[in-house]
Chains A and B, each alone.
Chain A
Amino acid sequence: MPDSATKRTEGAQKPSHVTALRLFGDYLLMLLVPTVLAVYYYGLRALAVVGVSVGAAVLTEAIFSAVLGRSYYVRDLTSLFSGLCIALMLPAGVPFYVPVAASAFAVAAVKMPLGGSGAPIMPAAAGFAFAAVCFRTEIFTYTLRAEQKLLGAQSLGALLGGGNAMRLNAANLMDVLGGNVAGPMGTGCGLLMLACGVYLLMRRPRALLATAGFLGACALWAAILPRSNGGVLTNIVLELCSGSLLFAAIFLVTDHATLPAARWHRVVYGALCGVLCMAMRRSGVFEEPVCFAIVLGNALRPVLESILPGGGQAQRKEARA
Chain B
Amino acid sequence: MKEQTPSFRDLYLKSAVLSNPVLVQMVGLCPAVAATASVRCAVLISAALSLDLIVTCVLASVLMKRIPRAVRVALYLGIGLALLCPLLYFIETRTLMNLGQGTKVYLPLLAVNAVTALHCEKVAVKKPVRMAFLDAAAVSLGASIIFLIVGTLREVLGSGAFAGIDLDLPFTLKGLSLPFGCFILFGFLAAGLQAISPYLRQAQEEEPDAPAAQPQEADPQDDLWSDILEAEAASSERLAALDEFTERLIGGEEDAQ
Q: In the complex, are the beta carbons of A134 and B187 less than 8 A apart? A: no
Q: Which residues of B contact A97 (CB under 8 A)?
A: 170-171
Q: In the complex, are the beta carbons of A101 and B184 less than 8 A apart? A: no
Among A101, A113, A134, residue most surrounded by chain B Cβ atoms (within 10 Å) = A134
A95 within 8 A of B: yes
Quick one: which of B171, B174, B187, B191 contacts A133, CB cutoff 8 A? Answer: B174
Bits for B176-203, please: 1 = Cβ < 8 Å to A, else 0.
0010000010010001000000000000
**Alpha-carbon distance between A305 and B76 when the two chains are bound, in angstroms:** 43
Q: Quick one: given A109-B184, A113-B191, are A95 and B171 in contact (CB under 8 Å)?
A: yes
Q: In the complex, are the beta carbons of A134 and B172 less than 8 A apart? A: yes
User: Chain A nearest CB: distance from B133 CB in Å?
Assistant: 38
Instruction: Give the contact-size bracket for chain A.
Output: under 10
Q: In the complex, are the beta carbons of B184 and A134 less than 8 A apart? A: no
Bits for A119-144, please: 1 = Cβ < 8 Å to B, else 0.
00000000000100111000000000
Bits for A89-121, please: 1 = Cβ < 8 Å to B, else 0.
000000101000100000001000100000000
A-side interface mostly: helix
B67 within 8 A of A: no
Q: Which residues of B contact A113 (CB under 8 A)?
A: 187, 191
Q: Which residues of A contact B187 (CB under 8 A)?
A: 113
B100 within 8 A of A: no
CB-nearest residue of chain B to A108: B188
Q: Which residues of A contact B184 (CB under 8 A)?
A: 109
CB-nearest residue of chain A to B172: A134
Bits for B143-170, please: 1 = Cβ < 8 Å to A, else 0.
0000000000000000000000000001
**Alpha-carbon distance between A135 and B175 when the two chains are bound, in angstroms:** 9
Q: Which residues of A contact B170 (CB under 8 A)?
A: 97
B249 within 8 A of A: no
Q: In the complex, are the beta carbons of B175 and A134 less than 8 A apart? A: yes
Q: Which residues of A contact B191 (CB under 8 A)?
A: 113
**Alpha-carbon distance between A235 and B93 when the two chains are bound, in angstroms:** 56
User: Chain B nearest CB: distance from A49 CB in Å?
Assistant: 16
Q: Quick one: given A109-B184, A113-B187, A113-B191, are A135 and B171 in contact (CB under 8 Å)?
A: yes
B239 within 8 A of A: no
**Alpha-carbon distance between A304 and B61 when the two chains are bound, in angstroms:** 49
User: Chain B nearest CB: distance from A188 CB in Å?
Assistant: 26
Q: Quick one: given A109-B184, A113-B187, A113-B191, are A130 and B175 in contact (CB under 8 Å)?
A: yes
**Alpha-carbon distance between A134 and B181 when the two chains are bound, in angstroms:** 11
Q: Which residues of A contact B231 (CB under 8 A)?
A: none
Among B170, B172, B173, residue most surrounded by chain A Cβ atoms (within 10 Å) = B173
**Top 6 closest A-B pairs, CB basis?**
A133-B175, A134-B175, A134-B174, A134-B173, A97-B171, A130-B175
A-B contact pairs, 9 of them (CB 8 A): A97-B170, A97-B171, A113-B187, A113-B191, A133-B174, A134-B173, A134-B174, A135-B171, A135-B174
Extra 16 A-B pairs, beta carbons < 8 Å, given A95-B171, A135-B171: A97-B170, A97-B171, A101-B171, A101-B173, A109-B184, A113-B187, A113-B191, A130-B175, A133-B174, A133-B175, A133-B178, A134-B172, A134-B173, A134-B174, A134-B175, A135-B174
